[in-house]
Structures are given as C-alpha cells and as structure tokens.
Structure 1
Amino acid sequence: MKKVLFVINTLGGAGAEKALLELLKRFSPEQYQVDLYVLLEQGELISQVPEYVNVLNRDYTAESVLTREGKKKLNRKVFRRLFIRGALFRNIPYLIKNAVIMLKHRKIYADKLLWRVMSDSGLKLNKDYDMAVAYLEGGSTYFVHNHIKAKEKFAFLHIDYEYAGYTRMLDKDCYLDFDRIFTVSGEVKEGFVRVYPECADRTFIFHNLIDRKEIYRKAELPGGFEDNYSGKRILTVGRLTAQKAYEISIDAMKILKDQGVNLRWYVLGEGELRHRLQQKIDSLGLTEDFILLGAKENPYPYYKQCDLYVHATQYEGKSIAVQEAQILGCAILVSDCSGNREQVNDGIDGALCQLSAEDISRNIKVLLADEKKCMQYRKNASKKISDEQRDILELFRIA
C-alpha cells in the first residue's frame, strides 16, 4: 500500500480547498494510505474530508479563516508559530531581503513573507512517503520541499504566479526540486513557465475536479433567495478579498441603479473586506441593492435561481465558482483576465468585459435586455466538456 501525504495551507471554503476534497476521493483506501496536514490548522471544510483520510493535525480549529472571529483565532495561531523552533529568527535575513525587494515594487505581501516561517514551525513528521503533494503555493509548498521525506514530490499552482506576488527569490527556487508541477489552467502554466523555464518539461495542466452529480443534486434542495424580490438577480460567489475587486462591482451597481435598471446583486462569500465593502455599499445608498449574504453551505440553489452570474476579478487560476455556474447553466459575464478568459469563450458561452465599473455595468445592461443571448449562453455553458475524468494515476505516475 502506497503512503501519500497532501499538505494545504488552510481548509476553508474556497475553490482550491473544495478541489482538494474531490481529489482525495479518488484515492482508494484499498490502495493508498492517505495523510492530510493542514499547515495553519484551521478551516470549516475539515468535516468533509473523507473518513479514510488520516488528518495529522493535533490542534485544529473548525472555523472559517475569513470571518472576523475566525481571523482572530488564525492570527493568534500565526503569532504563536513565530517562535516555535525559532522559526522567525532563523528567517530574519530572508524576510529582510524579500521585504526590501517588495518595497522597491511598492507592494508588501505580508502573507507571502510569513509562509516560510509557518513552514519551518509546522508539525515534525517522522515518516517516509511514496508521494507528497503540496496542494497550494507558499507555505504548503515550502513545507513539502523542506520538511518531508518522499520518493516523489508534486506541487500544485492555482493562481497567476507573478500577478499574485510570488518570485523565485521568495520561493528559494524550490520548484526546481519537485518531480512534477500541476497547474489548474493553461494560462497559469504559461505564467509559471515564464518564471521557471527549467520546469517546462515537468509542468502539466490538471483541471480542478468537480462532482457534477452532487452539484445537480444540491441545486434541487431547498434554499436560495429568500427576499421575495421580483426583479432581475445577479450572483457572484467568492471570498471578500482584494483579488475579487468587489469595489468595482459596487460602483457598477451604482451606475445601474442611477440608470433605473431593476436588479439586485448578491454576493456569497466571506472575507476580511466585509466591513469595508459594507461601508461603501451603505455610503452609495445600495444597502438594498448590493447584498453580502455571507458564505453558504449550499450555494447551488442561488446559481440556479439567478438571472446572470458575474465574476469580475483581477486575476484567477481557474475559478471553481465559474465552473459551478457553467455546470448549472448560468448566463455568465467575467472580466477579461488570466484564468477567466480561458474558462469563458466570449460570445459563445458567456461574455468578457473590462475590469471597470463602466464596462461591467454596460455589459450587464446589454445581457439583461437580451434574453435570447442569455439563453444561448446558458445552453452552451451547460454543455462545456470537463477534464475531471482524466486518469489521475497517469498524471501522478504512481500506479
């Protein structure tokens, strides 16, 4: 029986974490002994880990890392970890060097600076594995690279590598030592290989795995919108973070309201920007028009009930939210950025727009007024072919 380890930074309700749960289901307990280590020991999806997977964490918090209370608990854990095995002090030269480089580019990525400290203060695993998989960038990648013994090591990338703020110096060239690197889309692969051309021959596209039957089933369950609104509904699903550019969507909603368009915009997701976004919503008089519903255990009835799904973000790897909207046959509008443009064929199964309030609002108005076009988008989106049935044993080379 082969021994396999998966490592992920947190296990909150985001796309990569959901995709990991689907991947874990593909590893039969009759063939594999699977361990899972959550580097920061927090996240609400822990209850959905298959029962045959051995969770290695000793002190786990089953709470979202995005709510205010969950963020406080996470920050306390991070602070304690700074001093375990002298992780902070050992990395001071590294932190200073990379902070100086970030300052030159006028943007500090505090989380990315701390990932190496979190890696060095992680659990000591005195076990040899046949395969170790770092399922996210940053902490889990550094942990598998530096602290795990395995015959083969694999890494996953879910984001636009450069745009997200990663560099070879930040990574200490660790990807050079991985046997295979999996990216969730072609654009993510292209961006990564530009930075690590030496890894081109062992970098492969591995699309997020999604359980279509389960999504269809959950979409039929009770739930969804409860406000008895009779106008058009827009839906967005995603964490309330800077990457998702909600401030621009709020401005787009303001333009639409001022033009007298009868609609409401709903957001499913939680995050550290909730308070700031709600202040902006209220200040623009959009309290009843742009509604932050929080994270929902079953978001699928909302997809089914909305008139238009909008995903206007700065960048993506490959959005599971967009994939879910396609599976459920939504009319889709996405911003023209890495990740999004690979998922949506403009004018065929959805529409692309610029990431500006003016262009988002213009496209929304056009689509909501053209039911024939929306119906065509829904039909084509629901037919999109997925790679989720690819043989993972072939990709991992562990058969």
Structure 2
Amino acid sequence: MKKKILFVINTLGRAGAETALITLLKKLPENEYDISLYVLCGQGELVRELPTYVHLLNRHFCWESVLSKKGKFLLFKTVLIKNFCHGAFFHNLSYLFLNRKNTPLEKLLWRIVSDGSERFDTHFDLAVSYIEGGSAYYVHDHVSAAKKAAFIHVDYVQAGYTRRLDKDCYVDFDRIFAVSNETAGVFAGVYPECQQKLSVFHNLIDTEAIRQKALSPAEKSMHEGIRLLTVGRLTPQKGFDCAVYALKLLLEKQYPVYWYIIGEGPEYGRLTQLARSLHVEDHFIFLGMQTNPYPYFKMADFYIHATRFEGKSIAIQEAQVLGCAIAASDCSGNREQIVSGVDGLLCPFSPEGIANAVEYLIEHPQTAQSFGREAAQKACHFENDIHMIRDLLYLP
C-alpha cells in the first residue's frame, strides 16, 4: 500500500525553494508514494511543472507570478479573504499585538494565512512543511499525520524569525531538515533542544535538465562586452543595491561591463531609480522573470551572487552545473558552496569588494576558466544527497 505524503509550501513562484521542491517531487517514485501538495496562497507559475502524479489539493489555483503587478494584487486579495476564514484574524489578535513592534507585517500575516486556509480530513503518513512561516504553522496546527517534518531554507535569525513568532512550533516536529550546515547551525542556536532531530538535506537540482535547457536560444540578446549575470528575487536580502554601486565603480575604471538581472520583486522601482541616479541604467539591465534562464548563464562571462545572507543558493548551484566562473559575497550559505580561489571567489559584501572580485576575474581569464571547470566538477556531486529522501520518508 502506498504511503500518503503531503507537502505544504507558501507559494509556488519561480524561486529557489520552490524549484527545489519541484525537483524533489519528480525524484519520488509514483509507484511507492501517494503524494499531495497544498500551496497556502494557491498561486505561482511553477504549478505547470508539477509531475502529473502529484495531487494538487487547492480547489482554486492561479498561475500568475506572485511577484508580477497582477500577481501581487491577487496575492493581497487571497490574504484578505483568509483573514475571515475560520475566524483567523480574530483568533490571532493577541498574537498580532504582541509581535507588532519587532516583526514585519508580512511575517505576521503568515499565521493568519495558515489559520485561514483549507482543512483536509485525510490522515497522512508524513506531512512536510517545505519552507518557513505559514507552511510550518499549517502542518503543525492543521494537518493530521503520523510523522511531521520541516525544511529550513534560510538563515533563521537573519531572516527575522523568532521562537515567539513561530510559537515554538518546531519543537513538535519529528525531523527538521536544513539546506546547509550553516543554516542548521544558526537554527540549532535558536532551538538547541532540536539538535538531535536536525539534519542537513541539500537542495536537489536536475543537472541534466539544466544542461539541456541551456542549449535553447535565449529570448533576449546580450550586449557585446563583459557580461555579468545575477538571478534572484528583487528584495533587500539579495543585495542588488550594492551591485549597482559596484557596477558604477567598474564603469569608472573603463571596463565595458553589462550587468544582467533575472528576477522580479518589490525592489524593482527603487533599483531602477538608483541606477538612473548613478547614470548606469544602460548597463544594469533587468530581464524580468525568465521561464528558461539557463541560456543566459551560458552567454554570461561571470555569474555574480552578492547577497546579504543565504540559506543555500539554487542559483549558485545552477551556475556551477553550467561551468560558470562565480564571485559571491562571503556570507552564510555562500561560504558553504564556494571554495574561494578554487571554484570561485568569495568577497566582502560591499561595492568595493564586489567590484574588486569582478575585476580579478576580468584580469585573470585563465583563472576564471579554471574556476568554471572546478565548479562544473563539483556540480556532479549534487545528486549524492538523494539517499536522504529515504530518511525523509521513513522517519525513525
């Protein structure tokens, strides 16, 4: 008899954790498991890539990107409706009041979204919260399952989570999976009593599919010159503001650099204004969300990932698969993915630090090529963690 497994995630937009979830679902044999997925906000373009054997439990689902203008409006509408389902808003008044000063509203709302979401009578053998916030609260409070597991994809402290915000929900999970050693260490510092049930489960990526998609033609062309690429949501965490200043420094040194950005997010307006104010708008180029970003990795000279903090970057893994020379900020997550001077460069998170790293790659082309070759070799080992799926499904 097939084991019943439920995965829960907040949204299904084209981002790192969501992409990793799709890959994980494709790795699970349909003849062994009856797999269901519930998306709290019922929205996201990656729903098109769900394996056909995965049961989507949402009665209504919107394929619109959660980061597009229309998508953000629809997301707001969904959250507003959930305020009045199951009395979610009124039940959480004291919670909202106690946490209002030190917690961003978007994080407080995940509790309401969780409590206002659909409930299901099915009893599962395993329920998995695949991301922090709402999905963890939902699996903890509203799912009936023999075993429960939760994934941690971010630096728990830097991302602004606290025990009070989460109501200590992780204490009750049977297993907790962090996507990197540093992510696990930070989480254990907040929840020391969870140390024994905390394991590292690296993000899974489909290396062969990435290589095949990279062979397709890109939708948009790139300028002649030195082409940099960064992929990520346009949020403060991703440090694009620092990248704009770094680009200014490189152009002042007469390097013919064009920096391409793939992604959407709330910082778009501020970043475009910043680029204009520094007179680099013709060189800091937004490509928006790309269904297939991989041809751009192949076209770029260097992949740059200068973020304030990370859990474990899917974009860095993808760049490694495609043999890119990489420079990344020296922060949690990135440190675990790159051996500086061997398969890439780690640099200080500052305009000067980023610009100096890019300049080094430009001035040392043979070393940059060596970084790319080493990165591609490292990518061959990403699939080695696939055995941990068994640990996930058969909890002791």
TM > 0.5 between the two?
yes
> By how many angstroms is 1:96 displaced?
1.0
Q: Which amino acid aligns with 2:29?
A: S
Looking at structure 2, the residues matched to 64 and 272 of structure 1 have their Cα atoms a distance apart, in angstroms, of: 13
Q: Which amino acid aligns with 1:75?
A: F
Looking at structure 2, the residues matched to 68 and 272 of structure 1 have their Cα atoms a distance apart, in angstroms, of: 9
Q: Which amino acid aligns with 1:121?
A: G
Asked if 1 retains the 8 angstrom alpha-carbon contact of 2:205 and 2:382, the reply is no
After the TM superposition, which residues 194-233 of structure 1 pair with which residues of structure 2 at under 5 Å, given as runs?
A: 194-223=189-218, 225-227=220-222, 229-233=223-227
Corresponding residue to 1:394 among 363, 386, 390? 390
Looking at structure 1, the residues matched to 56 and 177 of structure 2 have their Cα atoms a distance apart, in angstroms, of: 23
> Please, which runs of 5 or more residues in structure 1 have no aligned partner?
103-107
Asked if 2 retains the 8 angstrom alpha-carbon contact of 1:207 and 1:388, the reply is no
Normalising by structure 1, what TM-score?
A: 0.96
Say yes or no: does 1:342 pair with 2:336.
yes
Corresponding residue to 1:189 among 178, 184, 190? 184
> By how many angstroms is 1:387 displaced?
4.0
Q: Which amino acid aligns with 2:87?
A: G
> By how many angstroms is 1:63 displaced?
0.7
Task: Say which SS state the counterpart of residue 304 (structure 2) adopts.
Answer: strand
Q: Choose 24-33 or 345-354, whichever is displaced more.
A: 24-33
Alignment partner, residue 144 of structure 1: 139
Looking at structure 2, the residues matched to 27 and 252 of structure 1 have their Cα atoms a distance apart, in angstroms, of: 43
Corresponding residue to 1:308 among 297, 302, 316? 302
Looking at structure 1, the residues matched to 31 and 23 of structure 2 have their Cα atoms a distance apart, in angstroms, of: 17
Q: Name segments (4+ residues, structure 1) moved above 2 Å.
A: 385-390
After the TM superposition, which residues 90-169 of structure 1 pair with which residues of structure 2 at under 5 Å, given as runs?
A: 90-100=91-101, 102=102, 108-169=103-164
Normalising by structure 2, what TM-score?
A: 0.97
Q: Which amino acid aligns with 1:316?
A: E
Count residues in correspondence: 392
Q: Which amino acid aligns with 1:154?
A: A
> By how many angstroms is 1:76 displaced?
1.2
After the TM superposition, which residues 1-399 of structure 1 pair with which residues of structure 2 at under 5 Å, given as runs?
A: 1-100=2-101, 102=102, 108-223=103-218, 225-227=220-222, 229-384=223-378, 385-389=380-384, 390-398=386-394
Asked if 1 retains the 8 angstrom alpha-carbon contact of 2:247 and 2:259, the reply is yes
> By how many angstroms is 1:283 displaced?
2.0
> Please, which runs of 5 or more residues in structure 2 have no aligned partner?
none
Looking at structure 1, the residues matched to 361 and 393 of structure 2 have their Cα atoms a distance apart, in angstroms, of: 45
Q: Which amino acid aligns with 2:319?
A: A
Taking a change above 3 Å as real, the CA distance of residues 387 and 371 of structure 1, as seen in their structure-2 partners, is closer
Looking at structure 2, the residues matched to 40 and 94 of structure 1 have their Cα atoms a distance apart, in angstroms, of: 21
Q: Which amino acid aligns with 1:48?
A: E
> By how many angstroms is 1:225 displaced?
4.9
Looking at structure 1, the residues matched to 149 and 80 of structure 2 have their Cα atoms a distance apart, in angstroms, of: 29
Asked if 2 retains the 8 angstrom alpha-carbon contact of 1:238 and 1:321, the reply is yes
Q: Which amino acid aligns with 2:253?
A: Q
Looking at structure 1, the residues matched to 292 and 382 of structure 2 have their Cα atoms a distance apart, in angstroms, of: 24
**Deviations along 1:319-353, whole A, 9 cap, x unmatched?**
00000001101000000110011101011100011
